[in-house]
Structure 1
């Protein structure tokens, strides 16, 4: 896809993806929704990209749905079927982010509301600036507070009580409280967070490609697993799979020799 509202820059096996509608606080319009769906939906285990870093241009991460553009396109006249089709295009982004084998690191600066909050929650790791403010704004717009995966992610990350507080009111969550709740890994300046994201990605690339992919996969499954035994069975399978092929031996050798690994698998 030829991107209009995304900037995608490759740095080796790291893809820096920037939401690029700063004049609209990177709000989601149909074109950006399609571009995000195409990017994350197109990631495969065989892709040269192994880690994704997602950020927003300007003074916001993503202010959610672009309501002005949405209304100007006659949203109130759309049929139930048309609205459901649009809804699914948005939610498919979050599903693709969770299903793609690549870990996703989000740098949240400024506002992350509604769909922007969902993008942050669908990421594997969240870093944020001190002025970051996140909320499930849907309920303030005449909608249910449960939308595009937020009601799945949020209780699992911060607990049922805090999730209910935020989703029933649409209240903003500031960076310091989000850090205390474990929703964020770090707060810093944009420059510090870009350096931290790059460092995290670099450390991830020291894992074998298969090991990194299976770790993300197993973490997602473990959240919903119904028993310890089910999780351990998955871990056992993944560990045995990772021992097959030349990458495992190279990973062990690189660790013992204290050097960067040179994997055969792209």
Structure 2
């Protein structure tokens, strides 16, 4: 296949998102780092039917974006996200029949799937309230920076629901352990920033005034690295949950061989030989 034929074959999938116009949240791109801002600070940045769906679709598009290499997810004001909007989501759900309720819960779960399957590292910058679906979004991110005043709560039992929402029973125990996850999912209580950091939910605690800048710096570091290889790392971290050790070692052998065929691998070697810093281009 010629290069021009390949370009034609893949043209329908490749996309650029720097000029994407978000309707239900803030969106900006700088130096290949995208920033998503939940921007309803007067309500502590709750999610709505529309923002759920748009976020799901955006993260699906990120799998094909050529100009985005890392993502920062945060909330406007002094809070991350208070979960699903009580009046715009929870109220209407009470009147829906079961088939439509299942459509909704599958749609919210699809947001987590899209976040886990997009190749870009996602860094959640969590300040203040991080509750319900907001806690799920932070959980579904690859890394999390918090603050001492962060309040993490999986509130589902408080509204008469199970803690098994949007993958929480699969993902949260892998981050903080089965016992701690069980406590949060059964009780719905808030965990402080210090608890979340000690448990491994947060990679780092930052000063509130520096939180987004610190998360953006981490994202920029990711964006300047071997981004194709980062996507492989994210894929294997997710995929190996369902593998035995032997299968995981074989899968990583195949994944690493793929990365060894990239130009970034060659660039790193030549930079090492020349005693310079490699400049990765993601190919």
| Short-chain TM bin | over 0.9
4+ residue runs of structure 1 moved beyond 6 angstroms? none
Comparing 182-191 and 50-59, the one that deviates more? 182-191
SS in 1 for 2:62: coil
Comparing 74-83 and 135-144, the one that deviates more? 74-83
Q: Of the candidates 69, 73, 93, which is equivalent to residue 54 of structure 1?
A: 73
1:145 aligns with 2:168: no
1:247 aligns with 2:264: yes
For the residues of structure 1 that align with 2:179 and 2:164, how far apart are their CA atoms? 15
| 1:124 aligned partner | 142
For the residues of structure 1 that align with 2:183 and 2:118, how far apart are their CA atoms? 30
Q: Of the candidates 126, 134, 142, which is equivalent to residue 152 of structure 2?
A: 134
For the residues of structure 1 that align with 2:263 and 2:130, how far apart are their CA atoms? 42
For the residues of structure 2 that align with 1:235 and 1:70, how far apart are their CA atoms? 42
| 1:97 aligned partner | 115
Q: Is the 8 A contact 1:250 1:263 kept in 2?
A: no
For the residues of structure 1 that align with 2:25 and 2:40, how far apart are their CA atoms? 8
| 1:235 aligned partner | 252
TM-score normalised by the chain length of structure 1: 0.92
For the residues of structure 1 that align with 2:87 and 2:146, how far apart are their CA atoms? 27
Q: Is the 8 A contact 2:157 2:186 kept in 1?
A: yes
Unaligned runs of 5+ in 1: none
For the residues of structure 2 that align with 1:138 and 1:131, how far apart are their CA atoms? 21
For the residues of structure 2 that align with 1:199 and 1:29, how far apart are their CA atoms? 29
| 1:80 aligned partner | 98
Unaligned runs of 5+ in 2: 1-19
For the residues of structure 2 that align with 1:148 and 1:51, how far apart are their CA atoms? 23
SS in 2 for 1:42: helix
For the residues of structure 2 that align with 1:29 and 1:198, how far apart are their CA atoms? 26
Q: Is the 8 A contact 1:5 1:21 kept in 2?
A: no
Matches within 5 A, 1:29-48: 29-48=48-67
| 1:160 aligned partner | 178
Q: Is the 8 A contact 1:7 1:17 kept in 2?
A: yes
Shift of 1:76: 2.2
SS in 1 for 2:52: helix
Q: Is the 8 A contact 1:206 1:260 kept in 2?
A: no
Q: How many residues align?
A: 263
TM-score normalised by the chain length of structure 2: 0.87
Shift of 1:46: 4.7
